[in-house]
Structure 1
């Protein structure tokens, strides 16, 4: 029950955050050079045609009037109408959002599959050859940009070996799964170095604790001590590290989506910015803000579940 109350309180606190973000984004997006009406009509449009289209789109109104209109629609659950895509922003986002969620989930899964075994092995073999090799992974990984990793994955596993598609999202579940592997691994290679370093340090501290030494003295097997006792306690701090980086990644998925031509909201955001599609940019930004808050919320709840000493306020 306490978790439900905490979640509801956090969701209520999201309202002023979204209002502030909507205000900032609305006015900042207007600073982008270019006129949406002129962009839609092309370079050969006459000034009269541009002025007429601006009137149809409501762009000739004062900014405060446009903002009030936007907020009125937003309070009714209407994110606006896309100039470029000629459709409602809500429909566009509902179509592309699942692709971005697929990317985030697959990236998180691959990150855990890569980072947890390596961090545990490094901590259990502290100072050994395996530990020294694994410790070099974060140093190398943190210096490689995600777009370069994505391009290398496409060249090797997509074009050379032909194991996975090099772009798109497929047409069915099997196609989705195959298409999301390379983007997910690219995300994981970006997040894994940070998680490996954090989890390794936590595991070393926990493995040196008195209760671990006592468990080993009682004859409990090493795998049971490491995975049954040490890993859960060590994971508490690493969950926060992972959550913070996933929240950061939520707003930067556009790079991965661009490299792999995934039709997610990051890709849609870039196209909307280039097309001066103000309503779509505003709607996607609000969705990104909600996703970041949700990821942070799940991180806090998971932290509390792993560590009963944490009190949710």
Structure 2
């Protein structure tokens, strides 16, 4: 396993249309890093540049401390797992997993050892004589991952490998990939548009938008200390509530005469801002001295274990994560409490966090 380092990496087409804008980041040896962002943000392009499948317009890609900008993919000691399983339909699972090793003239005894070790790890050792058509989507993805494992590469690259699976299989395979990382202790870089996958799998997450790195940090920091309004609005299910306010005299006016108290760390700000609060930090007021805000129920979304409730608070629409038993009808007036310690302020122009 090896570290991967990107130094001011850029990608442009025809020298004009830039899709990756000078990205710096380091993936430590043995780390699981996820690139996440909406479609078109450049995450797959960045992964393909690391793999050598896309040329680099500027900057450096280093694998194991060595600049690999001009090295072909086969010389970078990486293994890639794609969204499309790319299995040979006429070959057995064993032969699919062994194919790359045979191209490298690996001794047959070593091929058998590696294939069987990977198959047992992925729990497909009882089906190695089958062909891909006889497998489920999850089993095919295990074979594709097994084909990468037998290579014993320095770095594993995953390009949205679970996108073709249904929700239940995605959940199962997500757990399998996390366990696989724990067992192999390998360097892995994983691309997804699914922020739940990113949060559950990663040691660190790079959030990308329009080819820019918006934040690179641990899942906890990404969720609780977003560096930008884009990060706050992209992570979480549902994402952070974002709404307009005007700060003055230690509170934010959010419309209709409703003033939301701010903690001392934010109360010094002034003027128009974007405020943010996670749904779990909006709750019904208790009779224990809470600073209450008037609200009105707009929409209920029962989810079994909880109910998402959209509330009108001043001029803002806030989603609250409430108990499954909550059943107040739309239009019902309520008193709610927004925990000031969990409020975030963002610059409405640049989107940067004000902290």
Which of the pair is proportionally richer in helix?
1
TM-score (norm 2): 0.23
**TM-score (structure 1 length as normaliser):** 0.25
Greater RCO, CA 8 A, separation 6+: 1
More strand by share: 2
